[in-house]
Amino acid sequence: MELRPLGRSGIDVPKLCVGSNVFGWTADEAASFRILDAFAEAGLTFIDTADVYSSWVPGNSGGESEAIIGRWMKERGNRRKIVLATKVGSEMGPGRKGLSRTYIRSAVEDSLRRLQTDVIDLYQSHRDDPDTPQEETLNAYADLIRDGKVRAIGASNFTRERLESSLAVSKRDGLPRYETLQPQYNLYDRNAHESELESFCLSQEVGVIPYYGLASGFLTGKYRSEADFGKSQRGGRMGSYLNPRGLRILGALDAVSERYGANPAQVALAWLMARPGLTAPIASATSVEQVADLVASTRLDLDADAIKALDEASSEA
């Protein structure tokens, strides 16, 4: 499995990241274990989660995904083989959110306990916190790295302006810097990242690990009319994608898939993996069968003609 660097952190990861927001939601613990086993057997050992997953499910309070991953790693005895990424900052309850020094110190202990580990490889600010000085946040992370509880830090959902100012603070004050950025980015949702962040991340050697790599499932080709929206719990999100441009993208995915003997999901992820500066797209599965598709995407190298066809079909011009 090809490995790629996580920014300047010295950590290398496979070129596809296992998303785990489905654990404790559309995949129960037994299914999650089977899915994680299949990923690990294929060499996909970079796992992304967050403390808030999956608090949106009735009866959940957050931390369910981390806890499942922690029990799986303990049962399999494979923690040293896993590159583990989680996040802090999203609301976990009244007064439990943000990137203040006090909250980060508390939240990391909760995540370490649920994950049953003594160190998090990549600890990410889940979303920007404009009410907390960036110096305070980065000093909190510096403490965690010094204490051996975190190896590297990353940012998620940051604008270029805020990422740039954070990197400047890190350089000025000799503090740890965000080694990765986790933006929403896929073959449909291109403009925000490519116009503002892509070239900046390249110039600063910030690794990019985008989420929604399959546009909540639209790029699998499963949703081609409103009648298809009932096929999954995410079907309600498809209305924003099902338009002339979305259908044009699906047509291009179909054509490239036929050329390569692949399917649209594999091609959409392979397109992402070929983008400049991209470390590893995040993709999740709710079954072992879906894992096979995702693994196959890592073995698919698109040629220039295929990439051009996808670029043109997804252009927003």
Burial 197-208 (b: 16+ CB within 10 A, else e): bbeebeebebbb
CB 105 within 8 A of CB 59: no
Bond before 166 cis per omega within 30 degrees: no
Beta strands in the chain (DSSP E): 3-5, 12-14, 17-19, 46-48, 83-88, 120-125, 150-156, 178-182, 207-208, 282-283
Three-state DSSP state, 214: coil
Catalytic-role residue among 53, 185, 211, 241: 53
Residue 311: both structure tokens together: 């670029």
Three-state DSSP state, 154: strand
Q: What is the 3-state secondary structure (H, E, C) of 292-316?
A: HHHHHHCCCCCCHHHHHHHHHHHCC
- For the question of residue 53 being annotated catalytic, the response is yes
- Kindly list the catalytic residues: 53
